[in-house]
Structure 1
C-alpha cells in the first residue's frame, strides 16, 4: 500500500516537473514581436518600394526580401496621433473623441483606461511589453489642470503607458518639435526641466519649450535605438517572449541627421535622415541575430503616415526623388500619398518571403497577433482589426480585410473597396492642393471617385460617371461608422462626445 502511494506521488511529481518544462518550452515557441513605426516617411522613400528612389535603404529592403512586402498597406489616418491610436487599440481613431488633428505635448490621455490595448492583451498572454520612443497619445501631467506652467515634473504622470499594458516605457509625449522636451521612464520624468530651447532652422526647427538637461534633440534617435537594443539583450531567450513597440521620432521634424549621415543621400537633410532611420533598422536586425532570436521574432517596419511637405518636395523633385512615389498628395491628405505606406513583415520561423498586394491597415496588427497566438478577441476589443496572417502564408480561417476607411487631418473620410475609392469631400482634406476652403473649391464636384487600378495618381474624378459606386460606398461607410465596428461581431458604441461631429453630416442625407 505504502509502495503504491509512493509510486503515485513519484509519478505526480514527475508529471508536474514535465508539465512545468513543457510550459516553459511552450512559452519559447511564442514569437517575440518588434514593431518599428517611422514618423512621416513616404512610400517612395524605401528603395524596394520605389524603383526610381534616390534614397537607398538596404536594411529595410533586406527585411522585405526576407519577409513579406505589402504594397497596398495604409495607416488608419494621414497624421500621427490617430494612427498610433489605431495601432495600439485595433480600432479606427475617429471612433475616439479625436475627430481631427493631433494631440500636443501637454494634452491629456486619449486612450480610455477601460479599453483593451494590444500590449495589455499580450501581457494577458504571457508577454513582457515595452514601448520605447515617441508616445504622442497624451498622458496627464501632474497638476496639468492648473495649466502647463503649474506642472510638477518631479511627479509621475497619470494615465500613462504603464496603465495601458506596458511593463516598461521610455520616451517623450509629443512629436520631437512639441514641448515639453522631457524623457519619461515608467511614467516618471527622468529630470525636471529648467531651461527653454528653440530651433528655427528650415528643416531642423522645433517649437520653443521647456527642455531637461538630459534631453538632446539631435541624439534622440540614436538614444532610443540604444535603449531598444539594451531591452532586446536583457530579454532575449528568457522564459517570457517580449513585445517592443518602437515609435520613432524620424524622419519627422526636426530633421536632424547626425554627422555620420550628413550628405549621404546626396539630396538634402531629409534624405540623410531617412538613411539614418534605415541604419537603425539594421542595428535592430543585427541585435536579433547576435542574440540568436531572429528566427522566432516577428519584426515589422512601417510608417505612421505619408511624407510631410517639410521634406521639401520641390527640392527633392529637382533631384528626381518623390517620397510619395506615383501617388498623389502627402502627409495630412486623404489622397493615397497621405496614408499609403511601406509595410514589411519578417518571421523566418513561419513566414516565406514574398509580396502581397492585399489591402491591409495599421489597425490590423492586433488581430494578427491574436491569430498568431490563437486567442479569440472579445467583442469590445480591436473592432477594426483584421488578421493578415494568411497573407504571410500561415494557415488561418480568419477573414481578410476587404475594405478600409481613410481619414485626413481635417476629419474627411474616404472609403476604399477593391479598385474603387470614394472621397467624401471636394478637396485634399489636408495640406496639398486643392486645400480645404481654398479659392475655387465651390466649382469642384462635391465628392471624388477614383479607380486606383487605372488611375493610381487619382487624376480623373469619376464621381459623375459612377453614381452607383458612390451610393454603395456611402451606405457601407455609414453602416461601419454607426455599427461601431468593421469586423464581424456585436455592434459597439463610438466614444461619447459633447460636440457636433460635422464630418459625418453626409450620412444623414
Structure 2
C-alpha cells in the first residue's frame, strides 16, 4: 500500500469504526500487549557524527542524547558492511551479506539478480577478479517484517530501501505500508522540496523529506497505538546529495572552526535535521503514552562519508577511527548504536560489547519470546545478555566486502574478522605471487589502525585467517579469484601518466625548472621545483627543500572524459605533512596552453602536524582535464601522500594512483 498520511489514515479510521468493539478490547488489554518496535536506521552516519561519544564539538544531537538516556549505548556497534545495501539485507534477514549475496550497493540498477555470481575478467593491472553482487533481496528470505506481520503486528516502512524495486520492494518483503516507495540509493533529487518522488508530493514549498517521513511515521503510530506495530524508519539522512535547510546552514556557518575536521555547515545542518526526526518520534511515543511499551533500535548502515567534498571540505571526520564509508577500516563499519527496551535495559547504560547488524533479528525474537522458523538460522546472535548488562558468548564477527571502491583509504577486495581486541583484514590475492596480504591491528592499543602487526604476530594471523576460511565456507560466499591476466608491469603505476599533453609541449611550462627529466617519473608523477620524490611503504614521499616544491602528472587517455567540460571534478588524497604553508592544486585542460597554471588553480589549507588527513579539492575546469600538478607546501619538510583519486563530484573515479 503506497498511501500518503491523510489517505491511509482515513481508510484506517473507517476500518476501526467498523471494528469498534474489537478495538476497545485491544485497548483494554494494552497492559498485556506485545511491545511495539521502532527501528531507526541512519544512512552514512559515522561514529563521530553524534554527541554520544564526545568526539564532536561541531554537531548537535540532543535527541540522540535523549534516546541514549532511555536505553543502552553501544561503543562497538558494527554495520555488517561498509556500504548500505549489504547491511540492510543483514538487518532484515539476520544473515551476513556473504550469505544474502548482496555485497555491494547496486540494488537500484536495472538488472535483477538475486544471487551473486563469479566475476569473469579484470584488467591486467588488477590482481583479483571481483564477484558480481546480487542486485535484489530475494523474496524467499523470511524477513523481520514478515515475522512481525505473522505475529499480529502492523508493519510499515518509511524512507530509504535500496534492496530492489517491485517486485522486491518493502511491500513484497512483509510491510503493509511503504512511503515514499522509492528504490533509489538516496533521496530523490534533494532533501528540501521540490523533490522527485513519483508518489509523494511536498505539502509546503520547502518541506524537508526527513520532517515528512517523521510526520508519516507519527501518523502510523497514532492509528496503531492500540495494537502492536513494527515501524521501520530507514532515514535518507545523511547520505548524499548534500542538501539542508538554509537557515540551519547559515547558523552553522557562524560556528565553523577551520582547524576542526568537522567543519561543513551543510553536513552539520543535515545531522540536525536527522536528530530532529528522532525527537519527533520520541515526542509522539510520549504523547501517545506508549513509550513504556516500545522497543527502539537506532543504528547506522555504515561509517561516515569522509570523502565527498562539501563546503570546500570533506563531509565529516570519523576520528579517532581510521577511514570511512566504503573502507574496511573501523571508520567504515563502526557507528552509533542505541537500544531502548523498558523493563529490560537500564536507562542511560553503556556497553563495550561488540554487536553487528545481523544481531538485531535474533535479539528481537528473544525479547518478544517468538520462536524462529523451523528451518531458519542466523549469522547474528541475540544480544539480550549485553542488554541486561552482561557479556556476549561469541568468539568473533566477520565483515565480507569483496569489492574495491576507488576512494581514499582504498583497499583491495577484503574480508575481516574481529576477535577480542584483534582485527585481521585479508586482502584477496594482493600479496606476492598471488597470495593473500594481511593487515593485523590491536584495536585496544591502536584504534586508529596505524600499525600493521601482521609480520610481528604470524601465529595470530594464521589463527584468525583460519576463522575467515571457516566463515567463508559456511556462508557459501561467492569469492574473488586470482586474475590470470594480471601483468605485474601493468600494475606498476609509473607506467600510467606518460601520455603527452595534447596540443602542447610534453612538459608544462612553470616558473621553476623541472629538476628531473621524464625518465625520473615516480609512480607516474614528475618531480619539479624544489623537491624529489620516492616511494616508501605504499606512499608517495615528497622531500621538500622549501621554496616551490611541486610535481606533475598527465592523465592517460582512458581518464580524459570528453563530456566533463564545465563539470566540477574532485582530487582526493590522504596527506601527512610536517611542512608548513598552504597547498595548491593546478589542472591542465585539453587544448589550453600550459600557461593556464596561473588561472586554473585552487588553494587548500594543510595541517602541518605530520598526521594523515583526507583532502578533497574541487576543480572547476572548462575543458576536459588532462594533467594535474600538486604544490603540497612552501617550506622544507617531508610530505607523504597516498590514495590519490580524481573523481566526479558524485564520487565516480576517473583515475587513481596506486603506490
**Do they fold alike, i.e. is TM over 0.5?**
yes
Report if aligned partners of 1:402, 1:417 keep a CA contact under 8 Å in 2. Answer: yes
Report if aligned partners of 1:44, 1:53 keep a CA contact under 8 Å in 2. Answer: no
- The match for 2:284 among 282, 287, 290 is 287
CA distance in 2, matches of 1:175, 1:344: 24
Report if aligned partners of 2:103, 2:400 keep a CA contact under 8 Å in 1. Answer: no
Q: 1:314 to 1:464 in 2, by over 3 A?
A: farther
Unpaired segments of 5 or more residues in structure 1?
1-19, 140-156, 182-197, 428-435, 485-493
Map 1:141-152 onto structure 2 (within 5 A): none
- The match for 1:381 among 376, 379, 390 is 376
Give the structure 2 partner of residue 241 of structure 1.
228
CA distance in 1, matches of 2:139, 2:436: 42
The TM-score with structure 1 as length reference comes to 0.73
Give the structure 1 partner of residue 651 of structure 2.
none
- The match for 1:461 among 452, 470, 482 is 452
Aligned length: 413
1:173 aligns with 2:173: no
Map 1:169-208 onto structure 2 (within 5 A): 169-171=178-180, 172-176=182-186, 181=188
Give the structure 2 partner of residue 132 of structure 1.
158
Give the structure 2 partner of residue 303 of structure 1.
300
CA distance in 2, matches of 1:52, 1:101: 28
- Shift of residue 104, structure 1, vs aligned partner: 2.1
Q: 1:111 to 1:24 in 2, by over 3 A?
A: farther
1:502 aligns with 2:480: yes
Higher helix share: 1
1:358 aligns with 2:353: yes
Give the structure 2 partner of residue 72 of structure 1.
76
Give the structure 2 partner of residue 89 of structure 1.
93
Give the structure 1 partner of residue 422 of structure 2.
420
1:263-307 Cα offsets, whole Å, 9 max, x none, are 343342011100110111011100000100111111122211111
1:346-371 Cα offsets, whole Å, 9 max, x none, are 12333212100000001111000100
- The match for 1:481 among 469, 472, 485 is 472
CA distance in 2, matches of 1:307, 1:82: 16
Q: Work out which of the two has the higher radius of gyration on C-alpha atoms and give 1 or 2.
A: 2
Give the structure 2 partner of residue 5 of structure 1.
none
1:66-99 Cα offsets, whole Å, 9 max, x none, are 2100000100000011111011111011223334
Give the structure 2 partner of residue 46 of structure 1.
50
Q: 1:112 to 1:324 in 2, by over 3 A?
A: same
Give the 3-state SS of the residue equivalent to 1:71 in structure 2: strand
1:135-176 Cα offsets, whole Å, 9 max, x none, are 10012xxxxxxxxxxxxxxxxx32322221112211311122
CA distance in 1, matches of 2:196, 2:332: 31
Higher strand share: 2
CA distance in 1, matches of 2:432, 2:327: 16
1:330-386 Cα offsets, whole Å, 9 max, x none, are 000000000101001112333212100000001111000100122232464352121
Give the 3-state SS of the residue equivalent to 1:43 in structure 2: coil
The root-mean-square deviation of aligned C-alpha atoms, in Å, is 3.4
Report if aligned partners of 2:386, 2:392 keep a CA contact under 8 Å in 1. Answer: no
CA distance in 1, matches of 2:173, 2:481: 29
Q: 1:86 to 1:481 in 2, by over 3 A?
A: same
Q: Which structure would you say has the larger RCO, counting Cα contacts within 8 Å and 6 or more residues apart? A: 1
Unpaired segments of 5 or more residues in structure 2?
1-23, 113-134, 256-262, 405-412, 484-659
CA distance in 1, matches of 2:149, 2:473: 31
- The match for 1:161 among 149, 153, 170 is 170
